Chains A and B, each alone.
Chain A
Amino acid sequence: MHIVVCMKQVPDSGQIRVHPVTNTIMRQGVPTIINPYDLFALEQALQLRDKLGGTITMLTMGPQMAEDSLRKAMAFGADRAVLLTDRFFAGSDTLATSFALATAIRKVGDTWGKPDIVFTGKQTIDGDTAQVGPGIAKRLDLHQLTYVAKIAEIDLAGRSITVERRAEGGVQVLRTQLPCLITMLEGTNSIRRGSMADTLRAARAEVVKWSAADAGIEDLTKCGLRGSPTVVKRVFAPTAREEKAHLIDTTGLGTDQIAQALMTEVLTRVPAIEGDLQRAAASY
């Protein structure tokens, strides 16, 4: 079985600061991490390989430094890694990203065998759209399984796969045919510690680097800014609320009196809830 995992290196957005005057992102010194959602996908891929054998190819589109993340993925146990890197990809939105990744996955298939499953994370923490997965599926004509919480069954001989998918208001149990694309839900597992052997291998292993041309992309107008239908026109900081919270004066009050004061204030400001709660209390 051949599994491709799409993984992105992202800035650790918890540590991003916004310049208070210019409203621009201060990226200097912000560490990069593997998009946390992609690790759920990688761990799921590793578990499938443990059970069914096969190989895992990691794929990232990003700058040269994304090599670090790919090496880390190999230390977790992935077999090989491909970095798709080219200045033509700069400024890609989700449509351009899914075009580049889909073309590269085709090339991965030509080089190491057609993938049975392509995994992506549910979403990235920087782009945060959850669109790239469905985009790749559509472009490669793969059966699309999003928000997968669990892979219930794979029948390699019959080429079928059964998953539990988080739907609105419930869980959908879906069966489809391989090859398919799965976007993995968070909280499904947590990434293993890499073995010593894998850590050593990852340090030495080659990260395959492809330019747009290497990946077989002929039409560069579908890449980067030019291939992106969406345009970001304005970036700005959220406006603060005019007035701050009204703080209840607690001087000299005990805890119970504070609670009384708070309750009274709440019921004055949202009178509607009193009726709701009375009805609810009556039905206890």
Chain B
Amino acid sequence: MSSDAKPAPAAGGRAGMKKELPEHFKAYKHVWVFVELEGNEVHPVSWELLGAGRQLADKLGVDLAAVVMAAPGIPARRAVAESFAYGADLAYLVEDPVLQHYRNDPYTKVFTHLVNTYKPEILLLGATTLGRDLAGSVATTLLTGLTADSTELAVDADGSLAATRPTFGGSLLCTIYTLNFRPQMATVRPRVMPMPERQEGRIGRVIEVKADLVEEDIVTKVLSFIPDRNSKTANLTYADIVVAGGLGLQSAENYQHVKNLAKVLCAEYGGSRPLVQKGWIEADRQIGQTGKTIRPKLYIAAGISGAIQHRVGVEGADLIVAINTDKNAQIFDFAHLGVVGDATRILPALTDAFRARFAVNRLAS
């Protein structure tokens, strides 16, 4: 590549680069998924990644491994067993009291040690606050490439990982390769990949690895952890039904219609980004590229235009229902079901309809 290459944007320019994998990287095989364990629970994104990783491993004819790091104990063992149920062939298990809570330093050390020892070809992590914190450090330590927030993973004819992600504020997608370095790393946001089928009784090989860490050597200390369930933060990401509003609702008062419908449907409520900026809803209820990605069975969008940044966060929903006064609104391009009409009137009517229906059913049962 000539050094005076034009200041190309992320797009184009490098397409001609050839693959010349250095000899010492050829030993890198297998697909790994980092299993994210915090507060004794595995983040479901890890299972979603095992699902995606399984397909890559099958295509490449290699093993799929889960990487579990935790304090010694039942949650770690359970995570390993569950990893097999979700498709892993083997698991690297590192148990050490120092790994009780996530901290960048010990986790990066252990992870890079594992990579250097066992040499995976592909490394997948969830694009959670934990996964992004860890992935950035690990990739920099290993001096390899990392594709953030991938929405699609595939292997090419020559076996390279092709990671696709949105770019330029979501207006375009780009496919990124890490040609001459290993491992090839990518993060994926929760709910972007479907949850794989859980296979009861599936087992695999466990490789236990020592961490060799001493608490005294670690400068950063966790003073406390305040779980969200003590506060009223939203759990939009994994909700089965989500009702959302946009600027079309015209006022914070009218947003109440969204909450009312959500309540009757036992749903979570959320909205488009401008509502956060206006202060109608909290930041953690924003849906879309810079908010949450959701994959509910039912998504109802009221007064939302359907800009691409919103669309990328909701496309995985089974049924997208849009209510919008403008029959040409973009949202009707990707919604499954739509009503051209005034959301401030239809939402209350819909709330009443559902309430009546379930009241009747309750009497009947």
Which A positions have Cβ atoms within 8 angstroms of B? 11, 13-14, 16-18, 23-25, 27, 63, 87-88, 90-91, 93-95, 98, 125-135, 137-139, 143-147, 162, 165-177, 186-187, 220, 224-226, 228-238, 240-241, 244-248, 250, 255-256, 258-260, 262-263, 265-266, 269-270, 272-273, 276-278, 280-282, 284
Contacts and interface: CB of A to CB of B under 8 A. Distances in A.
A262 B129 contact: no
Nearest to B179: A231
B61 interface: no
Contacts, number: 321
Interface string B171-190: 11111111111000000000
Given A168-B36, A273-B240, A131 B143 contact: no
| Main secondary structure on A side of the interface with B | mixed
B201 interface: no
Contacts of B346: 255, 258-259, 262
Given A138-B140, A255-B349, A258-B349, A169 B337 contact: no
Interface of B: 1, 3-15, 17, 36, 38-39, 41, 43, 101-105, 108, 128-130, 132-133, 135-137, 139-141, 143-149, 162, 166-169, 171-181, 219-229, 240-241, 265-266, 283, 290, 297-298, 308, 311-312, 318-322, 327, 331-341, 345-346, 349-350, 352-354, 357-359, 361-362, 365
Given A229-B180, A269-B337, A173 B171 contact: no
B140 A169 contact: no
Contact of B220 (A139, A175, A281): A175
Contacts of A171: 225-226, 228
Contacts of B176: 230-233
B133 A134 contact: yes
Contacts of A91: 5, 7-8, 13-14
B144 to A, nearest CB: 6
Q: Which 4 residue pairs of A and B lie closest in terms of their CB atoms, listed nearest first?
A: A134-B136, A13-B169, A229-B145, A259-B349
Contacts of A172: 101-102, 222, 224-225
Nearest to A15: B169
Nearest to B283: A187
A175 B320 CA distance: 44
Contacts of A168: 36, 38, 43, 128-130
Contacts of B1: 225-226
10 contacts: A23-B172, A90-B8, A128-B148, A168-B130, A169-B41, A229-B143, A232-B11, A235-B172, A246-B336, A276-B240
Contact of B172 (A87, A138, A147, A237): A237
A11 to B, nearest CB: 8
Nearest to B342: A255
B298 A273 contact: yes
A240 B318 CA distance: 16
A98 B143 CA distance: 11
Nearest to B265: A277
B338 A247 contact: yes
A77 to B, nearest CB: 24
Given A229-B143, A229-B181, A284-B362, 17 more contacts: A25-B172, A91-B5, A94-B148, A95-B139, A134-B136, A143-B104, A143-B219, A143-B220, A162-B223, A175-B221, A233-B175, A235-B11, A238-B173, A246-B337, A263-B350, A263-B353, A280-B266
